[in-house]
Amino acid sequence: MKKSILALAALSAFSGAAMAQSSVTVYGIVDVGAAYKNAGAGTLTSLDSGLNSTSRLGFKGTETLSGGLKANFNLEMGLKADTGANDAAIFARGAWVGLSGEDFGSVNLGRHKSLTYIYGAQIDPFMDGLLGKTDLMFKLNTVRDNSITYTSNSFSGFSVAGQYGFGEKTGDATANRVTSVAASYINGPLNANIVWDQMKDTNGNLAVGGEKLLAGVSYDLGKDFFGVKLNAMYEEIKGSTSLTVLKETKEQLYMVGGSIKDGANTFIVSYTDSNVKTSTNANSSRIALGYTYDLSKRTNLYASLARVENEKSVKTLADLNGATARLFNFGIRHKF
């Protein structure tokens, strides 16, 4: 009897250890709010999903292997919490598997967030949410299909990353190819990074808006300075006008902003300017304000407003060329 009990105890301990080597997490965000838009074609009020953060459902996991290696995966879909619909591609927000190690960093294969998006969101004072989020004006290319993504470990605050997207066109390895590299330095309150990204078109030429240089910096002044955090970002975009007309286009974007964190309250502001160098009357600018209130670690209320001024040849966030966009939203977000 004692031997049976000991054997059962040993088996239970072994099973617990085996289970500890692997884990799968289900996570997500449900975000719904009301939105108002007046942007040249009349006013529109609506109930929308993903105003603070994109509503989503995801699965991620890791397994500890020998030699300090880990196997990792991530599957993430976008959802419309106002209608219950999902993205056309089931896991449009990410679908990859890879390995990571204490010595070399991580390598992931599949549909992965772009480096411009990853590093841009780190600097964005709106944390890629609300009406001030960077990618409403900056061209960050949220995800990259058919990609291999490498991220190094941090060495005294420095890290590097690289991403290669296969074009998958028979007989032409250059067509549709994506190449991206990044470097980052994080040390206490300072976060600085730079990303170079290039995308080819189906003919192997530089795609429309296909070359980007993104640089950003943020600095957290801390509680002694009322929880103020300062942010700045620059993006330069080059490319051809179309597949057949290879005239170069060039656009420069600037963002300055900041936030104040006071307990459950966060106040956010940013100013973004788009300057198109190779077209006339195509510039635009945006001023955005945001506020969030934390009901708990997982649930918050939010509100934001923005005003976008457009020159007569552009309609950034507007319905008509030259129109001024006036935008407002508020809602609730829950993370799980």
Q: Which residue has the tokens 């990859």?
A: 96
pLDDT digit string (tens) for 152-199?
A: 999 999 999 999 999 999 999 999 999 999 999 999 999 999 999 999
pLDDT confidence band for 244 (50 / 70 / 90): low
pLDDT digit string (tens) for 62-85?
A: 999 999 999 999 999 999 999 999
Q: How far is CA 212 from CA 31, 160, 240, in A?
A: 31, 17, 13
Q: What angle do CA 108, 111, 116 make, to 5 degrees?
A: 85
Residue 91 has pLDDT above 80, yes or no: yes
Q: How far is CA 147 from CA 74, 168, 313, in A?
A: 14, 11, 35
Domains of the chain (ranges, CATH numbers): 32-335 (2.40.160.10)
Instruction: Round to whole Å and give the CA distance between 8 and 253.
Output: 65
Q: Bridge partners of 183?
A: 160, 194
In 3D space, the residue among 167, 246, 169 whose CA is nearest the CA of residue 200 turns out to be 167
- Min mean pLDDT across 31-35, 71-75, 140-144, 231-235 is at 140-144
pLDDT confidence band for 243 (50 / 70 / 90): low
Instruction: Round to whole Å and give the CA distance between 165 and 180.
Output: 9
Mean per-residue pLDDT over the chain, rounded: 92
Q: How far is CA 189 from CA 114, 185, 204, 224, in A?
A: 24, 11, 42, 13
Residue 2 has pLDDT above 90, yes or no: no
pLDDT confidence band for 208 (50 / 70 / 90): confident
DSSP H helical segments within the chain, as ranges?
Answer: 2-20, 115-123
Q: What is the percentage of the chain residues whose pLDDT exceeds 70? A: 93
pLDDT confidence band for 19 (50 / 70 / 90): very low
Residue 96 has pLDDT above 70, yes or no: yes
- Min mean pLDDT across 111-120, 238-247, 310-319 is at 238-247
Q: Is the pTM of this model over 0.85?
A: yes
What is the mean predicted confidence (pLDDT) over 122-145?
A: 94
| pLDDT for the residue 21 | 84
Residue 15 has pLDDT above 50, yes or no: no
